[in-house]
Amino acid sequence: MNKIILDTDPGGDDIFALLWLQSLVKQGLAELIAVTTAEGNISSKLTFINASKVLSLGGFEQVELGRGVTVKNSHVADAAHIHGMDGMGNISHNLPPVKHDFDSAAYSDDLIIDKLNAHPGEITILAVAPLTNLAAAESKSPGILKKAKEVVIMGGAFKVPGNVTPHAEFNIIYNSEAAEKVFASRNDIVVLPLDITQELIFTPEMAEDITRNYQSHLTKFISDLCKFMTTANLRYRQTKGIKGFLVHDGAAVAYLFYPETLFFRRAQVEIETQGHHTLGKTLFDDRFNPKTDANAWVALQVDRVSLLASLVEDLNFLCMEI
């Protein structure tokens, strides 16, 4: 059974990834060891609050929750314009109250260190946020990320434009120095970049498939969040005019449980941390030269139909169980 730490900054697509994981746990396919929240889409306190509410919504309030390490000098602003001022489409007031205490919670980097030391070689980290927490853990305890079974990152843009600048994706540019440290930590990082996640458009019809048979706080939340995110994605031209929104972070969950939907290439990934126009760019060398320092597997093709169908069916299962 997969033991998982989800490092996340909820955030609409983060929420769908967390709900997907909760369904897989309820199906007996995974164990959610902890959720470590990060500053990114919104502030660290709000990402903590959102994760707590979504865990309670699915009946997982017992899962340990970490508070994010603060970024002192991020290169970009947060993404509240996409996700709403509360990170949840401005509907967080409809969710259960917060069950975790932010002030007394362990910091996310400490939680990562503690869990990896307790279960060396057993835990997969799904990192779907800026990589601040992972880099902080690696700085505080050098070599700690090698104790993870795998480190899976949603981030980067290689052969497609970025979603913050022409070259950079949000999770990488938000703290590019952290990304550089994480990619240097081991030689088998799994990367799910915009190259494939820009194809993962969750439509209102998919939401209806999930919500039509069940009436609960969860189905109403899924429906309302889908409506908000669809409007925001259309406004900011995220989906090229297709009605729906991008579930970028779902690709990390799919990698673990539906690997047949993704196709990878081996690469030596580099992070641009100095460029004025190219800050946060992820790149690899495409030339036919020997590569002796490859550090990652990068997804460049996706079976989007099968991936999204799996997401819908697993969310259906979660709604049935609530």
Contact at 8 Å (CB) between 95 and 217? yes
**β-pair partners for 283:** 270
Q: Name the phi and psi angles at 183, rounded to 5.
A: -70, -20
Q: How far is CA 212 from CA 20, 22, 181, 207, 280, in A?
A: 18, 20, 45, 8, 41
Asked if 21 and 253 count as a contact pair (C-beta separation under 8 A), the reply is: yes
Q: Are 204 and 244 in contact (CB under 8 A)?
A: yes
Catalytic residues: 248
The 10 Å CB-count burial string (b at 16+, else e) for 265-304 is: eebbbbbbbeeeebbbbbbbeeeeeeeeebbbbbbbebbb
Q: What type of residue is 316?
A: N
Q: Which residues pair with 63 in a beta bridge?
A: none
Radius of gyration (Cα) for the chain, nearest Å?
18
